[in-house]
Structure 1
Amino acid sequence: MAEVRKVPFTDLHRQYSQLKQEIYDSIEAVFEASAFTAGPFVQEFEHQFAKYCNTQGAVGVSSGTSALHLALRCLGVGPGDEVIVPANTFIASAWAPIYMGANPVFVDCDEFYNLDINKVEAAITKRTCAIICVHLYGHPCDMYSLKEIGMQCGVNLIEDAAQAHGAKYHGLMVGGIAELGCFSFYPSKNLGGAGEGGAVVTQRENYAAQIRMLRNQGAPAKHQYSEIGYNYRMDGIQAAILQVKLQHLDRWNIRRRDIASRYEAKIENGRIQTPKVADSVEHAFHLYVVSVDDQAKFTNHLSNHQVSYGLHYPIPCHLQKAFTHLGNRRGDFPYSEYLAAHGVSLPIFPELTDDEIDYVIEVVNRYK
């Protein structure tokens, strides 16, 4: 085996060191203008991000979680309503309905780790008012099928693209395919800030206008409050840094896909199943999640050879204590539960070196 070295799961300092001067200059510009909350830097980022996503509008907010909350508020979701959410996702996707007094209705995942289209329609009831489809790990959902189900059943569709910046479905940029698209700019995302941040993108200006008002305490104008609102504004510093990083996003995603291709081509171990990718998508590979025969044994093997890893996610949403009141039980969503017990995320970030990639592959192939 090659010389043992520590391979990080992610390394934000490598990215920062390459962009240090650009980031310093952007922060200095915010301080010189004293535009710390909302303001011109946020407006310029919104303009650039909407253009990138091919949408009519983008609204910068405080986090991906607040983006989902505002999207449901914009659609009028309320107490007694139901919102379909994948059982296999980060917990924030399921918090949003709870914040509105609605119930998340969980649906199992498919072979691509996303909502199982064949089970979505069966989960719709007369109380269903929205579907949150999560482009999990960077793989876009089957949006045409979901839009058709939504139209037939009169149900709104929201894209949770928190892990899918720059991913495409049939050539369309994710986020702008449904009525509303929600993004997170948490530091480790494909497009990450220097703290918390998020955005809602949409093709409808009336939605964008309402979300701008709601994020700003419900105020359409200073000292005027027409609705109950929130303090969900984006910081000027985050927006300025995101403008810098947005210029590099496509290049970073190309590198992520290159790493994924090398893993796919060179991992040759019958105990490891690499992720499937649909022909219709351009994967953003926020995460590279393999399934293994024995999660504990495999992760111990990685640790012994100093390869860092992640688990996304070890407890599916429907089995979290916070959702006990919904009455879900173990066995309700078997594929999500299987992935929780067998999924392991390998290192994948743009600054990963070729030697590190080869070492990860070597370590994985030596697992027995």
Structure 2
Amino acid sequence: MDIMANRLDRGFYKYQSEFETKALEVLRSGWYVLGKEVQKFEEEFAQYTGAKYCVGLASGLDALWLAFRVLGIGKGDEVIVQGNTYIASVMGITINGATPVFVEPNEYNNIDTSKIEEKITEKTKAILVVHLYGQASKMDDVMTLAKKYNLRVVEDCAQSHGACYNGKMTGTFGDIGCFSFYPSKNLGAFGDAGAIVTDDEQIAKDMKMYRNYGSEKRYYNKVVGANSRLDEIQAGLLRVRLAHLDELADEKKVICDRYLAELDNPNFELPKIQPGATTIWHQFVIHSERRDELMNYLKEHGIGTIIHYPIPPHLSEAYQYLGLKEGDLPITEKFADEVLSIPLYNGMTEEEQSYVIDVMNRFK
């Protein structure tokens, strides 16, 4: 049996007629950029998250760097972020000329909030919280520190659509919540797409201006903006998936509950869930000191896996200029050598789940 680490076709076929009907509706409308589909998606996604405003954008990375641009954070400023995130989180900071200050992760793979305060300096202007792998971070600690030091809070929710902390949805704690709708996400488009949510009307207005070449009125440009518009067909298709998002998340939860109950092998460690937090299981990430052996063993048995992520941002070639070296973030680096995402996708059959569980349990 061959099982991919992730597959998107089954998620399409599950609602094929709805997706195709919506695509044709948009194509036949004759309006393809910033039309009614974008407006309706923004309204519906804001309502889903509990935020007052949503602004559709071209990608999750655009959501991140535009968030810091709109907040006025740039050269000479520092932004605290966890070390074990995807590099796009860090790019959102550095594209604006600001400096990332890395904090180690906790046992739940999210930022260790007990280690944030020691990193705050007079240059610190914001905390970027990443809700990694779909699990909400410990936001009460973050917001307490933000209030104490008058810091902005940006949430990277690229992997956490619908996850909550103490009943409140990720993206709605801080100043701006940034979302990616890359096809592999739980709320995935059929190409690149993103959005921000906020309760601040001025931030929403500024974001709409920045996404459209810095223009509020056609050909009148207030700032040097970007071309970062969520297009109509992606917005329409996202509306279809959003209507089914809870049932899709529930399906993944059933699979992961089974993994948690039936996977039993001392050669790897199962994911833990932070008290007060929920996860939408964007990935099911295990830790193993024998990660590479396990990965090769699974490959030999036809089971695909992915490493999220093999190279921490502070050790990437792109960020050599920060002057950080191996050993500076030992927990982050340890995680990079241990993490492995095993197969998880909507439409995964019970037979496929059983095969993965059986093969993993037989690893010696």
Matches within 5 A, 1:23-42: 23-42=19-38
Find out whether 1:312 has 2:301 as its counterpart: no
Matches within 5 A, 1:217-256: 217-256=213-252
**d(CA) in 1 for partners of 2:30 and 2:97?**
38
Q: Which of the residues 334, 339, 342 maps onto 1:343?
A: 339
TM-superposed CA distance for 1:115, in Å, is 0.7
**d(CA) in 2 for partners of 1:65 and 1:151?**
26
| SS in structure 2 of the partner of residue 289 of structure 1 | strand
Point out where structure 2 has 5 or more consecutive residues left out of the alignment.
none
CA deviation profile, 1:344-363 (whole Å, cap 9, x unmatched): 10111121111111111111
Find out whether 1:172 has 2:168 as its counterpart: yes
TM-superposed CA distance for 1:279, in Å, is 2.3
Q: Which of the residues 248, 255, 280 maps onto 1:284?
A: 280
Point out where structure 1 has 5 or more consecutive residues left out of the alignment.
none
| Identity level (%) | 39
Matches within 5 A, 1:1-368: 5-368=1-364
TM-superposed CA distance for 1:267, in Å, is 0.8
Q: Which segment is superposed worse, 17-26 or 317-326?
A: 17-26
| SS in structure 2 of the partner of residue 84 of structure 1 | strand
Q: Is the 8 A contact 1:35 1:41 kept in 2?
A: no
Q: Which segment is superposed worse, 187-196 or 327-336?
A: 327-336
TM-superposed CA distance for 1:129, in Å, is 0.8
| SS in structure 2 of the partner of residue 272 of structure 1 | coil
RMSD: 0.9
**d(CA) in 1 for partners of 2:244 and 2:331?**
35
CA deviation profile, 1:152-197 (whole Å, cap 9, x unmatched): 1111111100000111111111111111100000000000000000
CA deviation profile, 1:271-315 (whole Å, cap 9, x unmatched): 110011012011111001101121111001100111111100001
Q: Is the 8 A contact 2:58 2:231 kept in 1?
A: yes
The one-letter amino acid paired with 1:129 is K
Aligned residue pair count: 364
**d(CA) in 2 for partners of 1:81 and 1:320?**
21
The one-letter amino acid paired with 1:75 is L
CA deviation profile, 1:245-265 (whole Å, cap 9, x unmatched): 001110111111111111111
TM-superposed CA distance for 1:16, in Å, is 1.0
Q: What TM-score, normalized to structure 1?
A: 0.97
Q: Is the 8 A contact 1:181 1:200 kept in 2?
A: yes
The one-letter amino acid paired with 2:40 is E
TM-superposed CA distance for 1:31, in Å, is 1.5
| SS in structure 2 of the partner of residue 85 of structure 1 | strand
The one-letter amino acid paired with 1:331 is G
**d(CA) in 1 for partners of 2:130 and 2:160?**
9
Q: What TM-score, normalized to structure 2?
A: 0.99
The one-letter amino acid paired with 1:77 is I
The one-letter amino acid paired with 2:41 is F
